[in-house]
Amino acid sequence: MRHWYIPSPVRGVWHLGPVPIRAYALCILTGIVVATWLTRRRWAAEGRDPDQVLDLVFWAVPFGIVGGRLYHLITDPELYFVPGRDPIRALYIWDGGLGIWGAVALGAVGAWIGCRRRGIRLADFADAVAPGLVLAQAIGRWGNYFNQELFGGPTTLPWGLLIDPAHRPADTPTVAAYQPTFLYESLWDIGVAVLLIWAGRRFQLRNGRLFALYVAAYTVGRAWVEALRVDHANHILGLRLNDWTSLVVLLGAVAFLTLRRRRTAVPDVPSGGSPVPVGGIPEA
């Protein structure tokens, strides 16, 4: 078998004079723009004002970034707050380190504030934003590619990711190719986005059920991707901490979906709108 491999990025930072333009940040911002665009379309499909989405995103995104960073710092404090480490690097979010569940949790707080100000039910917005959110994650994962981080173990697969010596694990300094877990998770996330749009149309999932399906579907994929990764992680009973978080979140999502099934006899109608499936997008 001929090995082609995925090359390492030539660079992850460009400079406009003294201003650094970082690929990681561009990937995150692109994901936010795409998620906002898709959510606005879905919001409008329900007969709502799409400009409301901008106000909600204004609240959710800053909270989400802070939450994602806090989750990373809480779960991996030894990377920053032990002798020999530089605590100021805890503020360097452009180097990576945004935990998705911290971002979702605190982002939900920001969205709740925005919804309260607008008189919108949080569950309605959560269902509308779910496909865009996981699509943003798919795009954001490419930031890990440019940072050469969060890859898997050594591999001889033809789609192995070449990692520069400076970024290789200390125990495999001479191994060049690793599992491209960023790519696996990105593809999985795109699949979840398609699933959510289809399921929203087919089953008219409302009252937070579409968001719960996002949580359940994402965590299943995250589990097998996490098992391939070789980056630093704290372990509990042999499992990475992120696996335990995903397991707890998955069980919560499945319980929510199970309980909500008993309340689907009458189609849900969002406040101020008509019973258009949440998954619906107006035909072009």
Please say whether the beta carbons of 5 and 114 come within 8 A.
no
pLDDT, position 96: 77
Give the E-state strand segments of the chain in sequence order.
13-16, 19-22, 161-162, 177-178, 235-236, 239-240
Task: Give the relative orientation of helices 122-140 and 23-45 as an angle to the nearest 10 degrees.
Answer: 150
How confident is the chain (284 residues) per 10-residue block, as mean pLDDT?
80 92 95 98 97 96 95 92 90 85 95 97 97 98 95 94 96 96 98 97 93 97 94 90 92 93 55 45 36
- C-alpha pair distances (Å), 147 with each of 59, 154, 168, 217, 241: 28, 18, 12, 26, 22
User: Domain locations in the chain?
Assistant: 20-151+176-263
pTM for this entry? 0.88
pLDDT, position 62: 96
- In terms of phi and psi (left: phi > 0; alpha: psi -120 to 50; beta: otherwise), the region of 160 is beta
Residue 235: strand pairing partners = 240
Among the listed residues 235, 255, 264, 268, the one whose alpha carbon sits nearest the alpha carbon of residue 46: 268
pLDDT tens-digit readout, 11-67? 999 999 999 999 999 999 999 999 999 999 999 999 999 999 999 999 999 999 999
Q: How far apart are CA 257 and CA 85, in angstroms?
A: 43
Please say whether the beta carbons of 76 and 85 come within 8 A.
no
pLDDT, position 94: 79
Cα torsion 252, 254, 257, 259 to 10°: value is -70
Residue 240: strand pairing partners = 235
Among the listed residues 127, 7, 148, the one whose alpha carbon sits nearest the alpha carbon of residue 56: 127
Q: How many CB atoms lie within 10 A of CB 159?
A: 14
pLDDT, position 260: 83
Structure tokens at 148: 């050469």
Task: Name the 3-class secondary structure at 73.
Answer: helix
pLDDT, position 281: 40
Q: How far apart are CA 217 and CA 130, in angstroms?
A: 11
* Torsion 37-41-46-50 (CA) sign: positive
pLDDT, position 283: 35
Check residue 53 and report its DSSP letter. Answer: H
Cα three-residue angle 33-40-99, rounded to 5 degrees? 45
Please say whether the beta carbons of 155 and 55 come within 8 A.
no
pLDDT, position 278: 44
Please count the residues of the chain.
Answer: 284
Structure tokens at 261: 């099934």
